[in-house]
Amino acid sequence: MADEDTSGGEQRFTGIAAAPGVVIGKVWVQGRNDVVVSPREIPAEQTDAEVLRLEEALIAARRQLTEIQQKVSQDMGDGNAAVFDAHLLVLDDPSLIEEAVRRIRHERHSAEYAFDTVASQFVKSLAELRDEYLRERAADIRDVAQRVLRCLTERDAEEMKAIGEPCIVLAYDLAPADTACIDKTKVIGFCTDIGSKTSHTAIMARALGIPAVVGLHDASQRVLQGDSVLLDGYGGLLILNPSEQTLDAYGQLEKRRHGIEASFARLRDEPAVTTDGHRIALEANIEMPDDVPDVLANGADGVGLFRTEYLFINRDDLPSEEEQYEAYAEVAQKLAPRPVVIRTMDLGGDKFLSSLQVASEMNPFLGWRAIRFCLERTDVFRTQLRAIARASVAGNVKMMYPMISGVEELRRANAELAAAQAELAAAGIAFDGNMPVGAMIEVPSAAMTADLLAKECRFFSVGTNDLIQYSLAVDRVNERIAHLYQPTHPAIFRLLLQVVEAAHRQGIPVAVCGEMAGDAALVPLLIGLGVDELSASPPLLLSTKRLIRGLSRAAAVEMVARARELTEASEIQALSYALAQAAAPEVMELAGA
């Protein structure tokens, strides 16, 4: 939607903020670049050759995607490269390929027309379904189909090769592969007509550190090549022909943001202590050993979540025990004596294991993942447990299991750990026999039996992302129901309170490592509930520390007492927000809250 400023020709397009930052420059409008295929019949004697053309195009498309995936893995980490696993799976879909081959052989269609027709039918069928997960697969098929057709027609995608100077790219849509190939020296920001904050394109933008806005409706049809624009990745705006007044306002705003961030940096070595003397452990979520410098630069008390699955995905083989040990030991040694909480692999859901042939599932978030996978593939699990146990000699290592649903799973996991430690002992390899072992609380059944689990582990870590998703039956990446994903829903409030009370009765601490821990507006609520530790992305830690140092724990506890009587998520959210605003208004300003 566009609103025109008649005073100076300025025009504003409102979309969805996808990646933070503000940039000003010339716009480069990219077309959709779809390959259009016309029907073409082939002689019967050429069908074998046409099938071979299709096979070669599929191989070429796979090679291109693999190269892009490797580049993304090197530049942005394995987690971001994992989005291409779904595209590679399309190229192996037997129903798609076999039907295209049938049309070539029996209906004598050209390879282009056969493949395009079949892929279009698949896309149409999936796009009409109400299931968001399956509709996303339609987008994957469409992107891959265009790549295969470009290989067949020997047409290179324009992508952004024609860009000669730094500019802001505007397109109807950008496939993940297009985004991954962006040259940051030439593209200073990008925006699209369609998309959501949780689309692959938006995720890539945040990983690249490039400001981005999506969901601009028809902006690519209304903005011309070379127009001057301002892209606001905080507010979700594309401003065409920004006025001097607008430019001045944004300049002042950017200067203030930098000033606020600089004031936070002075708190790096200060403790996260409330105004009434209550200490909160403030830790970092990391994915790889390379993240350690960010942990130290942002004054973390340690690592509250080491996501080990990123050592496993996007590779052709499983990491060896030695490779894993070196990664875990490196983090532990560099951060000692700060604690490092290593989570055993949480594979499945949106994280794929390329080195094992794991069948795709209709609903992978409720399927064979995390501890469920580990307890069936004990060979893989045992190797990881030995590596973690070996790294524990540093003396600061803790370990936790993901997606525990009850005591039985916890006991089975601990039995595997004991067996792994026994193997090390038999081989004369040292380990810390007193390494603290905890459970993640992500499943409603775990929250409801927290009193039982607390008797058999040393700490809890609450994964609020999944706990909210599972408890409220809300897919958090589905834009149509995103408004129902409510961290302050009374049910979530009660579950968190129940978990904290059960843990404290047994004398064990509770951490929160989900997105709630990094949401400034919700930090007072978590502290009032009695959460002992917060673990978030390193860049969020200094602002969170500033908030904690301006907050009274007594006021937070009183706020939670009032929240017990409330019946709506918005009411609880408003209480926590008000306390955060009073404690650290500049933090809330920076967060855009």
Return the amino acid letter for 364. Answer: P
Predicted local distance difference test score (pLDDT) of residue 370: 81
Distance, in Å, from the CA atom of 465 to the CA atom of 445, rounded to the nearest integer, reads 15
Distance, in Å, from the CA atom of 542 to the CA atom of 565, rounded to the nearest integer, reads 33
* Residue ranges covered by each domain of the chain: 2-33+159-245, 44-153, 268-591
Longest dimension (CA), the chain: 85
191 catalytic? Reply is: no
Return the amino acid letter for 252. Answer: Q
Predicted local distance difference test score (pLDDT) of residue 372: 86
* Sign, Cα dihedral of 216, 222, 224, 228: negative
Predicted local distance difference test score (pLDDT) of residue 362: 40
CA distances from 452 to 346, 407, 408, 589 (A): 23, 7, 10, 42
Q: Please, are residues 40 and 264 in contact by the beta-carbon 8 Å criterion?
A: no
User: E-assigned strands of 216-280?
Assistant: 228-232, 237-240
Distance, in Å, from the CA atom of 579 to the CA atom of 591, rounded to the nearest integer, reads 15
Distance, in Å, from the CA atom of 431 to the CA atom of 426, rounded to the nearest integer, reads 12
Helix (H) or strand (E) holding 342: strand 340-343
Q: Please, are residues 143 and 91 in contact by the beta-carbon 8 Å criterion?
A: no
The C-alpha angle 46, 47, 52, rounded to 5 degrees, equals: 100
Predicted local distance difference test score (pLDDT) of residue 96: 83
Radius of gyration, CA atoms only, the chain: 26
Between the CA atoms of 130, 136, 139 and 145, what dihedral angle is there, to the nearest 10 degrees? Answer: -100
Q: Residues near 219 by Cβ (< 8 Å), separated by ≥ 6?
A: 2, 13, 15, 170, 191, 193, 238
Predicted local distance difference test score (pLDDT) of residue 353: 47
200 catalytic? Reply is: yes
Edge-to-edge strands, sheet with 237-240 = 2-5, 10-14, 237-240, 228-232, 22-30, 167-171, 187-192, 212-214, 16-19
Helix (H) or strand (E) holding 170: strand 167-171
pLDDT in tens, the chain (593 residues): 555 443 458 999 998 887 778 899 999 887 655 667 778 888 888 888 888 888 888 887 887 777 666 655 665 555 555 666 767 777 778 888 888 889 898 888 898 888 888 888 887 877 776 666 666 667 777 778 877 887 887 654 445 556 778 999 998 777 655 665 677 788 899 898 877 664 556 656 665 668 889 888 778 878 888 899 999 988 889 999 999 999 999 999 888 888 988 999 999 999 999 999 999 999 999 888 988 998 999 999 999 999 898 788 656 678 899 999 999 999 999 999 999 999 999 875 444 444 454 444 444 455 557 888 899 889 989 999 999 999 999 999 999 999 999 999 999 999 999 999 999 999 999 999 999 999 999 999 999 999 999 999 999 999 998 899 889 987 655 555 667 879 999 999 999 999 999 999 999 999 999 878 988 999 999 999 999 999 988 888 999 999 999 999 999 999 999 999 999 999 999 999 999 999 999 999 877 65
Q: Residues near 266 by Cβ (< 8 Å), separated by ≥ 6?
A: none
Predicted local distance difference test score (pLDDT) of residue 349: 46
Return the amino acid letter for 215. Answer: G
Q: Which CATH architecture does the domain made up of 44-153 adopt?
A: Orthogonal Bundle (1.10)
Q: Which CATH architecture does the domain made up of 2-33+159-245 adopt?
A: 3-Layer(bba) Sandwich (3.50)
CA distances from 518 to 263, 475, 542 (A): 18, 20, 10
Q: Please, are residues 278 and 549 in contact by the beta-carbon 8 Å criterion?
A: no
CA distances from 495 to 32, 159, 439, 504, 571 (A): 47, 48, 16, 14, 17
Predicted local distance difference test score (pLDDT) of residue 393: 97
Count CB neighbours of 297 within 10 A: 14
Q: Does domain 268-591 have CATH number 3.20.20.60?
A: yes
Which tokens sit at 98? 């076999």
Q: Please, are residues 36 and 47 in contact by the beta-carbon 8 Å criterion?
A: no
